[in-house]
Amino acid sequence: MLSVGLTGGIGAGKSEVSRLLSSYGAVLIDADRLAREVVEPGTPGLAAVVDAFGPEVLTAEGGLDRPKLGAIVFSDPKRLAVLNGIVHPLVRERTAALEASAGPDAIVVNDVPLLTENGLAPLYDLVVVVDAAPRTQLDRLIRLRGMSEDEARSRMAAQATREQRLAIADLVIDNDGPLEALEPRVRQVWAELVERERRADRPGGE
């Protein structure tokens, strides 16, 4: 099995790359989706969040009120650390279970938005970074997601820099151009991943 970490800045096009890799045969593990699943109603994760932050972070229906919780933690690094201390181990546990069920020859792509920020690169056999220039990211966030320029710049500034992401990359997918130019680049990276997994399976391989 080849374990791949996939990351990229907001607006870089990581979601489209994930979709393409999955269509080629990758086993996709979406860290954001798992982070939501581990705090769904009835889970030990949600119980731990309520224990740490109080019942006011619940909606009337008993689910997690994400905007309210976000308002609490993102202005207080200590409380954010508490939340991460609950959610991250649960996500790692669920990720390990999904990887174990993927099969020995699988190429498992872990879609992790904050891979760089959280220092997670050593967890993977290699890291793929989807790269776009900041001006391209800004344009996409405004034009395609309807953000104001101030909101888009704020969201970008809250993430790792382009240079920090590229510093941990084993493979880079350039997505600075139009969508139709992306697919050939992703297919080329997929071929490289398949070859690396094949070499790793050989006796005396990597």
pTM for this predicted structure: 0.85
pLDDT of residue 204: 52
Note the pLDDT tens digit of each residue in 128-143.
999 999 999 999 999 9
The CATH number of the domain covering residues in 2-201: 3.40.50.300
Query: Is 130 in contact with 25 (CB distance < 8 Å)?
Result: no
Residue 178 has pLDDT above 90, yes or no: no
The pLDDT confidence band at residue 206, using thresholds 50, 70 and 90, is very low
For the chain, domain boundaries: 2-201
Residues 6 or more apart in contact with residue 73 via CB below 8 angstroms: 79, 80, 82, 83
Residue 22 has pLDDT above 90, yes or no: yes
The pLDDT confidence band at residue 201, using thresholds 50, 70 and 90, is low
Q: Which of 37-41, 70-74, 103-107, 174-178 has the highest mean pLDDT?
A: 37-41
Query: Is 57 in contact with 49 (CB distance < 8 Å)?
Result: yes
Cα separation, 176 vs 132, in Å, equals 5
The pLDDT confidence band at residue 75, using thresholds 50, 70 and 90, is confident
> Which amino acid is present at 76?
D
